[in-house]
Amino acid sequence: MNGIPYLSVVIPVFNEEENLLPLTQELVSVLDSLEKSWEIIFVDDGSTDKSPEILNGIREKMPRVQVVTFKKNFGQTAAFDAGFKTARGDIIITMDADMQNDPGDIPELLESLGSYDLVCGWRNKRNDTFIRTLSSIIANSIRNTLSREDIHDVGCSLKVFKKEYVKKLKLYNGMHRFFPTLVKMEGGRVIEIIVNHRPRKYGTAKYNIRNRIIRSFVDLLAVCWMKKRTLNYEIKDKKK
Ligand code: UDP
Ligand code: MG
């Protein structure tokens, strides 16, 4: 690949075999329409279906696609982290591999970036089951109350970051649910933009209330602690 791309799209993948080809097609046509150089980084988080073969097939045909393959399933935050460390662009776009995020929203998110450091997608019309949608509304409201935030939809993976903020993040398992707070803790400006949300057509959702509720709550307490203890000092004078 010649030169450093301007846009890097980071996509965690865990058993998404049927989504990968149509997603890539859709995404590439949006990226090409932007007339900026780009790269796509798929991070295969230990898939046990045909995702690894399909990703390699895509990479062989498209040199602007990179594939990072984990030894086993390490979780979505780890996948984002590996993607962030691989990304070379000035702007980092994140999204899910399951086609629930719409690549068609990317141009508007990019336009909204301006003086902000993170633009978060807000799925105000969720296309998930009633239980998933309701649990996410409750989770967001508990998260906002305890961490004194006002983010409607922290779980939407469709986000656009300025590179410097991605590089500043020190991530721990589960922290992908707190990107807006982490960016603000680094002094970044965050905005939310309403985006499309589509039903999952292929494959199955990887999270349910049982495997999320306790862990997310513990993670929330950790983030509240970090937020409260953030170093925030101003130097009055420094003499040599
Ligand atoms: N994913 C992953 N590792 C995991 C679980 C999920 O990389 O351990 C990926 C998954 O393939 C998808 C995204 O993270 O691209 C979000 O997962 P999913 O759509 O199941 O969750 P939702 O956000 O819709 O609840
Ligand atoms: Mg999904």
Please report, rounded to a whole number, the percentage of residues in the chain having pLDDT higher than 70. 99
Residue 20 lies in a domain: yes
Residue 213 lies in a domain: no
Over residues 205-218, the mean pLDDT reads 87
Name every residue whose Cβ is closer than 8 Å to that of residue 213 and which is 6 or more positions away in sequence: 135, 139
**For residues 86, 163, 170 and 48, what is the CA-based torsion angle, rounded to 10 degrees?**
-40
Residue 32 lies in a domain: yes
> What protein residues have CB closer than 5 angstroms to ion ligand 2?
98, 100
Q: Could you tell me the CATH number of the domain that includes residue 50? A: 3.90.550.10
Q: Which ligand is nearest to the CA of 95?
A: 1
Structure confidence at residue 3 (pLDDT): 86
**For residues 199, 204, 205 and 207, what is the CA-based torsion angle, rounded to 10 degrees?**
170
Over residues 195-210, the mean pLDDT reads 92
Residue 137 lies in a domain: no
φ and ψ at residue 91, rounded to 5 degrees: -120, 130
Alpha-carbon distances of 22 from 18, 35, 177, rounded to whole Å: 8, 21, 26
Query: What is the rounded distance in angstroms from the CA atom of residue 156 to the CA atom of residue 101?
Result: 8
Structure confidence at residue 207 (pLDDT): 87
Q: Closest Cα partner for 166 from 2, 3, 9?
A: 9
Residue 71 lies in a domain: yes
3 state SS for 109-128? HHHHHCCCCEEEEECCCCCC
pLDDT at 211 over 90: no
Query: What is the rounded distance in angstroms from the CA atom of residue 28 to the CA atom of residue 155?
Result: 24
Domain count, the chain: 1
> What's the pLDDT band for 1 if we cut at 50, 70, 90?
very low
CB 128 within 8 A of CB 201: no
Structure confidence at residue 2 (pLDDT): 57
Identify the residues whose C-beta falls under 6 Å from ligand 1.
12-14, 16, 45, 73, 75-76, 79, 96-98, 100, 155, 205-207
pLDDT at 13 over 50: yes
